[in-house]
Amino acid sequence: IGDSAIRSLMARLYDPDAQLRMNVAETLGMIKSPRAVHPLVTLLRDEHPYVRCNAAWSLGEIGDSEAAQPLIELFKDEVPLVRTFAIDALQKIKSPDAIEPLINALRDEDQEVRSMSAVALFVITGLNYGEDYEQWSQWWQEYQYYYRYSR
């Protein structure tokens, strides 16, 4: 897909129709254009939760680490499904910046969020403490310097 088609798609991210925004966000994720990162990050604040989900999914597909912090912000979203899409995207990006927020998400009220956080932590770190918040916290206290500064 050429530049003009990608520009045309990105312009549609601001359409009043939520279904169209959802579809365009998903399409940009399938194309994996790094140019779509900033417009998709903007979409993470969309009023419609499914648009936020598709924007998060697409950012994960693109895999740009610049999206990590905005995706982490989605951990505050009131909709558990949005939080799970953010976790999935961060798992794909494998950003060390996500480790501490993922550990904290092990205390989320939603079981799916907790479960997906444990899987994402395994994918990012290679360790498997499951959903054990205390074990992950203890490990993080010991190894956070390595993940924050030496990678």
The CA dihedral of 65, 39, 31, 126, to the nearest 10 degrees, is: 20
pTM reported for the whole predicted model: 0.91
Each residue's pLDDT expressed in tens, for the chain with a length of 151 residues: 678 888 899 899 999 999 999 999 999 999 998 999 999 999 999 999 999 999 999 999 999 999 999 999 999 999 999 999 999 999 999 999 999 999 999 999 999 999 999 999 999 999 999 999 999 999 999 999 888 776 5
**12-28 burial by CB neighbour count: b if 16+ within 10 A, else e?**
bbeeeeeeebbbbbbbb
The phi-psi region of residue 94 (left if phi > 0; otherwise alpha if psi is between -120 and 50; otherwise beta) is: left
Cβ–Cβ under 8 Å, residues 43 and 70: no
* Rounded Cα gap, residues 9 and 23, in angstroms: 10
Alpha helices by DSSP H, listed for 32-67, are 37-43, 49-62
Cβ–Cβ under 8 Å, residues 114 and 102: no
Copy the structure tokens of residue 120. 């994402």
Return the pLDDT at 149.
75
Residue with tokens 């961060």: 90
What residues have CB less than 8 Å from 56, skipping those under 6 apart? Answer: 44, 71, 74, 82, 85, 86, 88, 89
